[in-house]
Structure 1
Amino acid sequence: MKIVVCVKYVPDASGERGFADDRTTDREEVDGLLSELDEYAVEQALRIAEAAGDSEVIALTMGPDDAEDAVRRALQMGADRGVHVSDDDLHGTDVMGTSKVLAKAIEHIGYDLVLCGMSSTDGGMGVLPALLAERLGVPQVTLLSEVAVADGVVTGRRDGDAATEELSASLPAVVSVTDQSGEARYPSFKSIMAAKKKPVEELDLDDLGLDGDEFGLDGAWTAVDDVTARPPRQAGKVVTDEGEGGVQLADFLASQKFV
């Protein structure tokens, strides 16, 4: 079985994230890493491959040169090889364009199952798996907290606020998993060293038969019109307790309509 897991290189959420002059995500001023939510997808891909035997896990990403780090992390976790789609014309591409590029790359690779995280930690749209399934013309089974594959069928559990659903679909299919699906493994030193020898295929838009005019900021269906920096944090009010501290605190909370 051939499993393609989509991974994304995102700015570190613990850093000071912001926008560049063209109102795209500023990736120069903050360190990047594999999206934490995609680690769960990599973990489930590896578990499915281990259970099935005779399987291959391919980590696929789209992004600038540094995005290869996300693929390398997946290889360290245990993926067999990687594919990195990179092209200058892709700068500023939105989720609609991204889904078209990734779908073409998945068709180029060949697949039985596509696995994604529930969302990215930068854009946070959560619609890519559905878009991929539509472009590939295959079933989608999304937001699973449990997933398994047997006899050409993927099954899983989706937990909602009011109910739990048991879902299934025939392969090939697109699946997304939540952060409740199982903790991602931490790469060992041996697996980190082994990952350096695993191949990463580099593709551009020409390799996928795509026209660069469809992508980037000019080809995007969505745009950021304006951004406002978060205001600096102001100093708090210090209440000196001389027997009336509780009253002062209550008055402050009432004045701010917290109580």
Structure 2
Amino acid sequence: MTKVLVPVKRVVDKDIKVRVKSDNSGVDIANVKHSMNPFDEIAIEEAVRLKEKGAVTEVIAVSIGVPQAQETLRTALAIGADRAILVETSEEVQPLAVAKVLKALVDKEQPGLIIMGKQAIDDDANQVGQSLAALADLPQATFASKVEVAGDKATVTREVDSGLETITVSLPAVITTDLRLNEPRYVTLPNIMKAKKKPLENLKPEDLGVDVTPRLKTLKVSEPPKRSAGVKVPDVAALVDKLKNEAKVI
């Protein structure tokens, strides 16, 4: 195996409290700080660690979106990716379209492994990894908390509802990362400077023969209802009564 392809997404920074637009058409992202999706940062870190172990020779970061996504790719390059590809589009790119673009890039680059975050924190769709595996007819290992690569096999420990599950997949394969897989390294200033000299290729979806026109329409976006104030109860009997007759949870 020589290459690892790592998709990364530019999202509103995880520490920003998002606001809904006044017309309820979506989330207001104007003049809001953006950063790399945290799950994708874990994916890049894992790919770089595999390279440092000698399991792979090249790490390619990929992003699909607006021109500003170049900043996200430069962060990936500073973490340790060797080169980057931006598939530039001004349209909203929905999960299936993202998977189709990635499928075209997999055909073009022929990576031995694709590592990506299990989901993006903006839409929480958790669809792209599975969709890509289906489109490219590749084995998949989702929600990875441990990854070991040896030869043409990857052994992945998965976080599932009942605990942990360990599976082995043949390469090439798609792996999606969970939070406990690793802790991404701090990006140093020298590495940020080096990242500016690494190659970053610009493509359009049409260059890859992919139509990214949205298929789904958002009708309305609204904030969740505000939580009502709590009440104090004098004793356990009163608590049980309220849980049973008011909250109706028991």
> Same fold judged by TM-score > 0.5?
yes
Larger strand fraction of residues:
2
1:2 aligns with 2:35: no
Provide the rounded CA distance (Å) in 1 between the counterparts of 2:27 and 2:208.
25
Q: Which moved more, 1:24-33 or 1:72-81?
A: 24-33
Q: Give the secondary-structure state (helix, strand or coil) at the position aligned to 1:46.
A: helix
Superposed displacement of residue 250, structure 1: 3.2
Would you say 1:143 and 2:143 are equivalent positions? yes
SS in 2 for 1:216: coil
8 Å contact from structure 2 (residues 64, 87) kept in 1:
yes
Higher deviation after alignment, 152-161 or 120-129: 152-161
Q: Give the one of 63, 73, 76 matched to 1:74.
A: 76
* Structure 2 SS opposite 1:187: coil
Q: 1:196 to 1:130 in 2, by over 3 A?
A: same
Shift of 1:128: 1.0
Residue identity opposite 1:159 in structure 2: E
Contact 2:42 2:179 in 1 (8 A): yes
Structure 1 residues 22 and 58: CA distance shift in structure 2, 3 A: farther
Structure 1 position 198 matched with structure 2 position 192:
no
Q: Deviation per CA, 1:168-226: give whole Å up to 9, x if none.
A: 11111111111111111111222111111111100102211234xxx233xx1x33211
Which amino acid counterpart does residue 6 of structure 2 have in structure 1? Answer: V
Taking the TM superposition and a 5 Å limit, the aligned residue runs for 1:55-134 are 55-88=57-90, 91-134=91-134
Return the offset for 1:62. 0.3
Partner of 1:189: 189
> CA-to-partner distance for each residue in 1:37-68, whole Å, 9 max, x for gaps?
11111111011111125600010010111111
Deviations 1:209-251 (A, max 9, x none): 234xxx233xx1x3321122456799x79xxxxxxxxxx8437
Asked whether the 8 Å contact 2:145–2:181 carries over to 1, the reply is yes
TM-score, length basis structure 2? 0.85
Structure 2 unmatched ranges of 5 or more: none
Is the Cα–Cα contact under 8 Å of residues 7 and 40 in structure 2 kept in the other structure? yes
Measure, in 1, the Cα distance between the counterparts of 2:40 and 2:182: 12
Letter matched to residue 36 of structure 1: P
RMSD of aligned alpha carbons: 2.6
SS at match of 1:144: strand
The offset of 1:22, in angstroms, is 9.0
* TM-score normalized by the length of structure 1: 0.82
**Partner SS for 1:198:** coil
**Which ranges in structure 1 are unaligned for 5 or more consecutive residues?**
238-247
Instruction: Report the AA paired with residue 84 of structure 1.
Output: L
CA deviation after TM superposition for structure 1 residue 135, in Å: 1.1
Q: Distance in 1 between matches of 2:68 and 2:101?
A: 18
The percent identity for this pair of structures is: 31
Provide the secondary structure at the position in 2 that maps to 1:191.
helix
Larger radius of gyration: 1
SS of the residue aligned with 2:207? coil
Q: Aligned-pair distance for 1:109?
A: 2.6
Whether the 8 Å contact between 1:24 and 1:92 is mirrored in structure 2 is no
Distance 2:154 2:180 in 1: 18
Q: Is the 8 A contact 1:103 1:135 kept in 2?
A: yes
User: Which residue among 213, 217, 221 is the counterpart of 1:216?
Assistant: 213
Q: Deviations over 1:113-158 (max 9, x none)?
A: 0001121111111121111111111111111100011111111111
Contact 1:7/1:60, CA 8 A, preserved across alignment: yes
